[in-house]
Structure 1
């Protein structure tokens, strides 16, 4: 017969994952059940306690008879989800043949041990929800004690309470009154020390449990969720995690500038990808199964990156590309799948330094303004109200936004002043400057010409390759290989004179500009020039 004892290796009931009644939280039981009955009657009547009822029947000692006795009893009743979670954590899985994980657990459980666990949920007193106080200690019928924490919720801590764990069971529904006591529904099976000892439970939390259960790491826990790394962290094995505390994240926000006050400001794909890279930089995989620290460069889970482990007179520090080391706040916190070390600094990979540098750089609009050779292009952008398209004034990502930001880059083939002079010559004596475009039709034409020079996405000179590029005007330009060289020219609708790139890779926060010696002309511009000769 499969016994409860064989499950000790996989048991992780101290995990902070709790399941509660979503729709009925904080419902007062007195409004739900009316009429006479004992606490056992209440347990039998409440629909979400079927697993607890089955456990009472399977346990030794006729607990049901006791709960029908004089009392008074306060019963902390784990809901069905709590038993299912408990069963899953100790190694059972729901399947079509044997039913739920909880049903399999209860059929295999040692009756005496199960009785110890169940009586650990009963206090010989009648305590309403309003009668609990923060820090209160409750002696159970089993003989063990429970600690009470009162804040926004009423929480119970069982015998697995250790400095590095947070085995909280929350009261999700309170005050189911009975003739001989009261029932409060909770979202976790409570475990006494005797059960921990008898079953040789591994009471250590996982790295993820430990991070999510530590108040000073709430920013790190939230960052892991935002970066989509929860599953990856859950799957880590024999790993050391360098865990920046909340103050470390505050310092990071300060370094990033005024647009970053908390994790909510990481709200576009570029920022979330950066956050992911930063977090992976704090995970040090084991070397030959060991998480011991040794001085020197240590590979991180972020590919091809290393953290420098520095032995500073016997105290380890961690160096990144910023030149400022992180020091240890708390070390050697043992978890099921590795070691956690709280540090006072968010370590920065090169990607983070590059991002900070990017934030301090000019956007495309400013880049054009600052380039003396592009002053005519600046006038044209102003005349056509297109300046705003190239001003990076937001750190949010809006798929419908018309402007380019660092998370939505553009490539601009920027005509020089000389290129515009040549265009004016081609248009004739009536066109001597941008100011000559003074009708609605002419400004619309000028706008189409300018948009014909812009391609979505960041295309550096190294990324250029022969072929067509679709511009913002929805017309194509052609990238043409110069025969006998590695250079490219840009072809337009004229099909005769191509534009040479005179200055490549003028980088900006929200893209890149390549200065060209010709104003590229879409077919609409050619048709307009032809009409002037009529």
Structure 2
């Protein structure tokens, strides 16, 4: 006796795949095919059911004769795509000569196939409007189907167990017949006998759980945005601490007014943060066990741990804050691990650092608030460069000219005394920033200021000897001080270097190092030389 190939498969994956075409989803059979004929006639007439017709012919028991009988019958008819996907999932592959479904039906056990097909038939005449949520239907095969009604009608087969909920959607309802009615569905329904015979592993994967659970829809969307779907799918054995939707709402509140939903995570810094947060919720297993043990537990976020806390027999999870996450639903079994739904988004240190960053001043405000940089402030105002250092957006725009927390800057900020030295070098006509009052002079001042700015955040610990390209597209030289760990900054003068008097004035969108000299590009030196002519 020929049988199906015995392969493990997660039926929940079948439930997550839509099988009918977009053009067919909203077609009502009552509008397209009404008239004399049996349910078997309808199955033969509907163009998307050729695989079902072939299955009826291959099954034992002369099902076609039964469906031409008195009835009444309600038939849930899997469309062609449903059979093709079913065949593919249990090991058949389409080729140039034959579809996967055709190969399946050519080797199918006729009796088992009859059990599956009669599991799609109910001895009643039920229109789509007659289904009720939670309704149980007894099939001709003897097994039960369950009904879920929302915006659509869904039919749940024998794999509707507590740990999984694979469903079939009614995509084309109400093909009326003289002896009943046909509803086209997008999944092959399986009775328990078929599940047992085919040795199906009906548990969903971790990814199935995340993407298929209503209260985890925010988590699923976050995983997609952070680019972690494949990483979750590839997990071998892990426990996923899955924050529910309310937990994400609480996270948005903690982040502030700029964060109302996941759409507000729209630049590289925010997406990296989101990825770090999600990786912090995955507890991999080294020994194949997902059992919880009190104490620090490593996460997929590199070099980080979550504290597993035994609170009077109930496990909680601690992060870098004072509030633990409690388990809402635990022990959700999957093919490659366990899911624990929790009531809080756990926060690694990176998240707290980000929240602190959002609350800090930007570079423009930092300059304004530093008494020793008041002349620099005047210069920025005079040259209309203030907005460059105002972090006014959380959007990453490649064409944006301002620096934001996702696009940092390093500013070598000349002190007031440094500007006094510059004025003295320029001569008696230059006593303040107001002395730069022609277009030529303001252009010169702009070039000088941009010569002090480097894209990217370079703290004193990151400084290394070499050249840095400034916003004026000219190079500064970082020079190591012999016998010291300090650095000086060299400009086009090649004689007097700038000392960093106050390093690492941190801002939301970068860092400032206060220096004791106004750095001069070649254009400034040329201008100064022209004053002597």
TM range (shorter): over 0.9
Contact 2:72 2:124 in 1 (8 A): yes
Deviates more, 1:375-384 or 1:10-19: 10-19
Write the deviation string for residues 322-381 of structure 1: whole angstroms up to 9, x where unpaired: 132212222212111111112222111111121112111111111111211111111111
Residue range with higher mean Cα deviation, 163-172 or 39-48: 39-48
Deviations 1:423-452 (A, max 9, x none): 111222222111222233322222222112
Q: Distance in 2 between matches of 1:81 and 1:323?
A: 51
Does the 8 Å contact 2:6/2:199 carry over to 1? no
Alpha-carbon displacement from aligned partner over 1:464-517 (angstroms, at most 9, x marks no partner): 223322222222222233334333222222233222222222111111111111
Rounded Cα–Cα distance in structure 2 between residues aligned with 1:36 and 1:467: 87
Cα separation, partners in 2 of 1:471 and 1:47, compared to 1, 3 Å: farther
Any idea what the Cα deviations from partners look like across 1:14-37, whole Å, max 9, x if unmatched? 234222322332122344457655
Deviation, 1:3, is 2.4
Aligned partners of 1:147 and 1:157 also within 8 Å:
yes
The correspondence of residues 12-31 of structure 1 with structure 2, limited to 5 A, is: 12-15=10-13, 16-20=15-19, 21-31=21-31
SS of the counterpart of 1:27? coil
Deviation at 1:307, TM superposition (A): 1.1
Within-5 A mapping of 1:39-78: 39-78=39-78
Question: Matched residues in 2 for 1:487 and 1:95: separation?
Answer: 68
Distance 1:430 1:41, change over 3 A: farther
**8 Å Cα contact 2:226/2:272 also seen in 1:** yes
- 1:315-334 mapped onto 2 (5 Å cutoff): 315-334=314-333
> What is the CA distance between 1:237 and its match in structure 2?
2.0
SS of 1:208's partner is: helix
What is the correspondence of 1:247-286 to structure 2 with a 5 Å cutoff? 247-286=246-285
Query: Aligned partners of 2:414 and 2:23: how far apart in 1?
Result: 62
Of 389-398 and 32-41, the range deviating more from structure 2:
32-41
8 Å Cα contact 2:11/2:159 also seen in 1 = no
Gap change, CA 1:177 and 1:359, over 3 Å in 2? same
CA contact (8 A) 1:42 1:176 kept: yes
| Distance change >3 Å, CA 118–CA 516, structure 1 → 2 | same
Q: Which residue of 1 aligns with 2:220?
A: 221
Deviates more, 1:478-487 or 1:334-343: 478-487
Q: Do the aligned partners of 1:11 and 1:91 also contact (CA within 8 Å) in 2?
A: no
1:4 maps to which residue?
A: 4
- The 2-side partners of 1:450 and 1:50 are apart by 74
Q: Could you list the per-position Cα deviations for residues 194-238 of structure 1 after superposition, in whole angstroms to 9, with x for gaps in the alignment?
A: 322333432222122222232222221221111111121122122
Q: How far apart are the structure 1 equivalents of 2:413 and 2:44?
A: 77
Give the match's secondary structure for 1:513. Answer: strand
Aligned to 2:400: 401
Unaligned residue ranges in structure 2 (runs of 5+): none
Contact 1:76 1:186 in 2 (8 A): yes
CA shift digits 1:298-329 (9 cap, x unpaired): 11122211111122222222111113221222
3-state secondary structure, aligned to 2:287 = coil
Conservation of the 8 A alpha-carbon contact between 2:11 and 2:201: no
Instruction: Give me the whole-angstrom Cα distance separating, in 1, the residues matched to 2:389 and 2:42.
Output: 67
For the aligned residue pairs, the C-alpha RMSD in angstroms reads: 2.2
Contact 1:164 1:210 in 2 (8 A): no
Contact kept, 8 Å, 2:298 with 2:306, in 1: the verdict is: yes
* 1:4 match: secondary structure: coil
Q: What TM-score do the two structures reach when normalised by structure 1?
A: 0.93
Q: By how many angstroms is 1:179 displaced?
A: 4.5
